[in-house]
Amino acid sequence: MNTNDAKEYLARREIPQLFESLLNGLMCSKPEDPVEYLESCLQKVKELGGCDKVKWDTFVSQEKKTLPPLNGGQSRRSFLRNVMPENSNFPYRRYDRLPPIHQFSIESDTDLSETAELIEEYEVFDPTRPRPKIILVIGGPGSGKGTQSLKIAERYGFQYISVGELLRKKIHSTSSNRKWSLIAKIITTGELAPQETTITEIKQKLMQIPDEEGIVIDGFPRDVAQALSFEDQICTPDLVVFLACANQRLKERLLKRAEQQGRPDDNVKATQRRLMNFKQNAAPLVKYFQEKGLIMTFDADRDEDEVFYDISMAVDNKLFPNKEAAAGSSDLDPSMILDTGEIIDTGSDYEDQVIKI
């Protein structure tokens, strides 16, 4: 087995997340017998059904869970601050963050790990200026995230970032780099790129954008862990647009896209994998943002102009409540706006999309 195989194995089996979680448990519980404690944690992992069921706080006891992500309280950063010893010699204090799991991950021996740490030391947005409004657009593969995000960006004069595109560009521009070759393979099989790398790419991109009024990010976050990381490292989004689309419709659109664009990750296997990942992650992600009152859900089974009509009404209301409707919106009928903050009944098999792929 070569190094790449070993790293790919670790990434696929979600071993870095497991170690992060065990480390969190140890830091919070400080057990007399760490070996016995780790044994009991691993037993719990088995009972839960495997590494992919482990979250960063699985082994943090209830009373120590100072992070209440679902009711808008303390951020992960402050949680970490609380569990870190006050001693300034503590090695990880500098970043107020967990010890980097990079040792175990494909981030470790690559050129970007240093950049990633450097970037962590800076605020993404200039604190002396108003922060740009951030709209995150999420939905299944083929739900129209790209199309709708571009339309939002165009209508409000916001900057557009496609996370999938960002990763693809990076892969093309660093084709001889081992880390990015591995990420290319991961993406081609329909899996998600590693979280820290993805966040770092987004941060780098955001830091290059000068003084925008707003930014639309297409395809982020894909799961609750990414949402937490974004809030921890970048900011709380102003609005999350969720494009709900029936599973069958997603499959049809992906087939069509495969014919038209020939993207390497639009093959049948990868498409199934992406739909499966979406199915697993969408419901908790939507619930997470719902409980924060940040998400609006749109029936994306419809014609793209109808979908955009609803989105633009919602953005007007949520982000520009005191302004006259944005240019070009005079033809919009406010009575058509969808109920906000709730999963809508699309009248089709939206549930199917999340539950039965």
- 250 in Cβ contact with 141 (< 8 Å): yes
Query: For residues 259-288, which are near ligand ADP according to CB under 6 A?
Result: 265, 274
Residue 344: C-alpha distances to residues 107, 147, 190, 266, 295 (Å): 39, 20, 28, 28, 11
CB of 5 to ligand ADP, least distance (A): 20
β-sheet bridge partners, residue 214: 133
Is residue 245 a contact residue for ligand ADP (CB under 6 A)? no
Long-range contact set of residues 62-66: C-beta below 8 Å, sequence gap at least 24:
64/28
User: Pick from 7, 76, 179, 222: which binds ligand ADP (CB under 6 A)?
Assistant: 222
CB of 254 to ligand ADP, least distance (A): 7
Beta strands of 70-149 (E only): which ranges?
A: 133-139
What residue is closest to ligand ADP based on CB?
164
Supply 262's token pair.
Answer: 């020939």
Task: Look up residue 140 and give its DSSP letter.
Answer: S
Supply 203's token pair.
Answer: 């941060």
Is residue 193 a contact residue for ligand ADP (CB under 6 A)? yes
CA angle centred on 301, ends 156 and 236, rounded to 5°: 45
Which span (76-84, 171-179, 188-196, 294-302) binds ligand ADP, by CB under 6 A? 188-196
User: Pick from 22, 106, 192, 282: which binds ligand ADP (CB under 6 A)?
Assistant: 192
Q: Residues 94-133: x/- map of binding to ligand ADP (CB under 6 A)?
A: ----------------------------------------
Which span (17-25, 126-134, 170-178, 184-192) binds ligand ADP, by CB under 6 A? 184-192
Radius of gyration of the CA atoms of the chain, in A = 21
CB of 220 to ligand ADP, least distance (A): 4
Give the distance between the most distant pair of CA atoms in the chain.
68
DSSP 272-321: HHHHHHHHHHHHHHHHHHHHTT-EEEEETTS-HHHHHHHHHHHHHHHH-T
- Please list the alpha-helical segments (H only) found in 30-75: 34-48
Q: How many residues bind ligand ADP (CB under 6 A)?
A: 18
User: Pick from 69, 132, 219, 237: which binds ligand ADP (CB under 6 A)?
Assistant: 219
If the CB atoms of residues 280 and 340 are measured against ligand ADP, the closer one turns out to be 280
CA–centroid distance for 299 within its chain: 21
Is residue 167 a contact residue for ligand ADP (CB under 6 A)? yes
CA–centroid distance for 119 within its chain: 18
Which span (3-11, 84-92, 190-198, 324-332) binds ligand ADP, by CB under 6 A? 190-198
User: Pick from 17, 198, 247, 281: which binds ligand ADP (CB under 6 A)?
Assistant: 198
Interacting residues toward ligand ADP by CB under 6 A? 141-142, 163-164, 167, 187, 190-193, 198, 219-222, 226, 265, 274
